[in-house]
Amino acid sequence: MEWRERDGVKWLEADLGGARAAFSTRLGGVSEPPFDELNLGILTDDDPEAVTENRRRLAVALGLEPARVVYALQVHGTRLLRHPSHESPPEADGHLVTDPRFAPMVLAADCLPIALRGAGGLALVHAGWRGLAGGIVGSAAKAVAATSAAIGPGIGPCCYEVGEEVLEAFADLGDGVAEGRMLDLPEVARRELARAGVERVESAGLCTSCEPGLFFSHRRDHGRTGRQAGIAWIEE
């Protein structure tokens, strides 16, 4: 992944082979504290007009028409939504596209945004522990016959203490996904991608909780925080 910046908006960008994925930071927007600056979450307590402007700024920085960006109401589930969709508003934690006119977006503030590319199209998923345990990564990989993937910033094993029920959900992945009660969510995602046959996986390797200057974190900020995003699109 490479750092990119335009008009104050800073993001990480990954080449998926015929498609690209961008993972935003909190830099370059208009929101006031504690949502400063580039909060993309409309369901936070932030000013909706500020969030709308932030979404516009990010799309323009990425070279995308804002109308191309599609999203859903995330519910920490495993549903994959295929676009175009006529649901309003749709509930889903993953997106499937084959048409370059659509650029799906997922929001996160510790969960992982993961983009997958294959012969069957492009997928983008919002993956917290529930989604990972429910198999959203494997389902998305199968849906697009994924051969490459990019894992965006999320909470790291340094900061993600979980209960026994969460650890038990990933016991079948073997050693190395947790140390004590500290779960390595990106490593869980890498192993799920490997299981699904995804050969090329790139990870941001950045903990959202450890980087308050770059990222929002639900756990670090006790729920009162903004949202960054993953956006992916097929290159025309």
What is the value of pTM for the model shown? 0.97
Residues 29-41 pLDDT 10s: 999 999 999 999 9
Rounded Cα gap, residues 59 and 9, in angstroms = 10
Residues 30-82 pLDDT 10s: 999 999 999 999 999 999 999 999 999 999 999 999 999 999 999 999 999 99
Domain harbouring 109, CATH code = 3.60.140.10
Find residue 127's DSSP bridge partners.
Answer: 112
Map tokens 């308050």 to a residue: 212
Here the tokens at position 84 are: 């175009």
Residues 135-171 pLDDT 10s: 999 999 999 999 999 999 999 999 999 999 999 999 9
What residues make up the domain containing 154? 2-234
Domain count, the chain: 1
